[in-house]
Structure 1
Amino acid sequence: MGINSDSGGSGGRARGLVLKALVLFGGVLLIKRLRRSTTRWDHARVVAQALSDEKLSREQAYRDPDNYFNLRLIVFIAFEMVDGSRVLYFEQAFSRTPQKPFLDKFYIVKPCPKEMKCDVELSSYAIRDTEEYRNFCDRPRDQRPQDEEVVGDIAEHLTTIHLCRCERGKRCLYEGSTMPGGFPNSWNGASYCTSELMIHKNGEVHTWDRGYDDDGNQVWGPKEGPYEFKPASNLRYDDILSLNFSPTVSLENKIEGTFVMT
């Protein structure tokens, strides 16, 4: 019995040493992973993936129908360029008529230049032939313009937003805006426009695009605050039913000076 006891004790000590070694090894791996810095391209990838979804302003329009439309925003990664930049197709429509978008454009997502104090550069571009891209995200892949066509259809530069990773403790993942002074824009009497963007951890995207005239007066865009787009997949079925309201003011009367046009 004494021999068996010694053997059991030795076996227990051996198992304890193995367990300690495994814990130590796992701790080293965890520390290495935590210390590993996020690369510039990691930031760009996260932003591209966070934007790529169907999102709705339905709840906000229900709360404040006088200032916000019930809109559908959908973004799709069209393709990845040789240098790693991602080209996104952006489309916006009324939620009731998603097949009739009133705004579409391209985004190019890439890391900020090393000399700038930001993480991601998000630039928007006009589309050379918008009719070719209507409902791009809802089409089968073989019915979408191919990569080489997309490159050829990237037209004039519209705006650039510089995004930074949000500070720890905030609800957002990334936030940023255009540079002071904005970008040239002539729609509805504007001379320049500004854009702000915030990407939240829960998948929400808040956008605030505004146009100003030469005197600094806002001539288009929401005045109360940004549009709040929530992922369509997060809306419960009963919420969607309750939010299918009829607007009290006709779209024709509200349309002027409200859309996001950058």
Structure 2
Amino acid sequence: MKKIILLLLLAGCTGFAQKAKKDKELETLFNLMKGTYNSEKQSKADEDYFNISLKMIPIWKNKGYYLYVEQALADKQDKPYRVRIYHLVRKGDQYISEIYTLKNEKDWIGKGATPEAFDKLTEADIELKQGCEVLLKKTGDKTYAGATGDKTCPSELRGAAYANSTVTLSETQLISWDQGFDKDGKQVWGAEKGGYVFDKVK
């Protein structure tokens, strides 16, 4: 009887250790994503690309892995064209970046400078973009790659019917390619030659 109990305890400890290890990997991904980026180098090398500022700031630390995200032209950072909240979760060997919109996004622009301000934001103030989550897998030491599902993310921007996004991430760069397509599969917005290369600046 004692032997059986000992085996059960050991099995439970092993499962806990594996869970802790996976959570540590999720935290590694989270730490890679957070920070301030721009595409200045790419914009100087190729005039088809703009210098875009991308900020991903940790919020709601006691609730999980949440990032407040602002994306804007580098010279118009006070007027971001994309305001989101990302929530990172894990499912097996896959990491999921859920995408949320903010119902009153104008009230939160610039608040990334004081992340504690988001403690007043509630889950009722954000809305999940169904089908727009990015599914990531680890591809190497501190490198990840993934994409949205095929035609799963609805979009009405500039006549689009759906949007696709692909992402690759390392310690120094985030490459993101967002494209919108109409119902016939014709691209109607987004970069055409490849993704935006965002260099991490801090």
Amino acid at match of 1:61: S
Question: What SS is found at the alignment partner of 2:43?
Answer: helix
* 1:231 aligned partner: 200
In 2, Cα distance between the equivalents of 1:173 and 1:150? 32
Which residue in the other structure is 1:73 paired with?
54
For residues 39-188 of structure 1, what are the structure 2 equivalents within 5 Å? Answer: 39-65=21-47, 67-82=48-63, 85-112=64-91, 114=92, 118-138=93-113, 140-141=114-115, 144-146=117-119, 148-158=120-130, 159-167=132-140, 173-188=143-158
Which structure dedicates a bigger proportion of its chain to strand? 2
Deviation at 1:41, TM superposition (A): 1.8
Q: Which residue of 2 aligns with 1:218?
A: 187
Please list every run of at least 4 consecutive aligned residues from structure 1 whose deviation after the TM superposition is greater than 3 angstroms: none
Cα distance between partner residues in 1 of 2:158 and 2:45: 27
SS in 1 for 2:75: coil
Q: Give per-residue Cα distances to partners, 1:143-200, cap 9 Å, x unaligned.
A: x231x524232113251111111146xxx61110112223111111111111111111
1:141 Cα deviation after fit: 4.7
In 2, distance between residues paired with 1:141 and 1:88?
10
Q: Does 1:197 align with 2:172?
A: no
Checking the alignment, whether the CA contact within 8 Å between 1:162 and 1:176 is kept in structure 2 is: yes
SS of aligned partner of 1:152: helix
Name the CA distance, whole Å, in 2 between partners of 1:151 and 1:77. 16
Distance in structure 1 (CA, Å) of the matches to 2:183 and 2:98? 24
8 Å CA contact retained: 1:43, 1:120:
no
Percent identity between the two aligned chains: 22
Q: In structure 2, what is the Cα distance between the partners aligned to 1:141 and 1:106? A: 12
- For residue 80 of structure 1, give the secondary structure of its aligned residue in structure 2: coil
- Residue 81 of structure 1 deviates from its aligned partner by 4.9
**C-alpha distance in structure 2 between counterparts of 1:151 and 1:182, whole Å:** 23
State the one-letter code of the partner of 1:50. L
Is 1:41–1:110's contact at 8 Å kept on the other side of the alignment? no
Distance 1:100 1:181, change over 3 A: closer
Q: Could you say which structure has the larger radius of gyration? A: 1
8 A contact 1:81–1:87 mirrored in 2 = no
- Tell whether the 8 Å contact from 1:89 to 1:107 is kept in structure 2 after alignment: yes
Inter-partner Cα distance in structure 2 for 1:218 and 1:208: 13
Alpha-carbon contact 2:168-2:176 (below 8 Å) kept: yes
Q: Distance in 2 between matches of 1:150 and 1:197?
A: 28
Q: Normalising by structure 2, report the TM-score.
A: 0.83
List runs of 5+ in structure 1 lacking aligned partners.
1-35, 234-262
Structure 2 unaligned blocks of 5 or more: 1-16
**Aligned 8 A contact 1:123 1:160 in 2:** yes
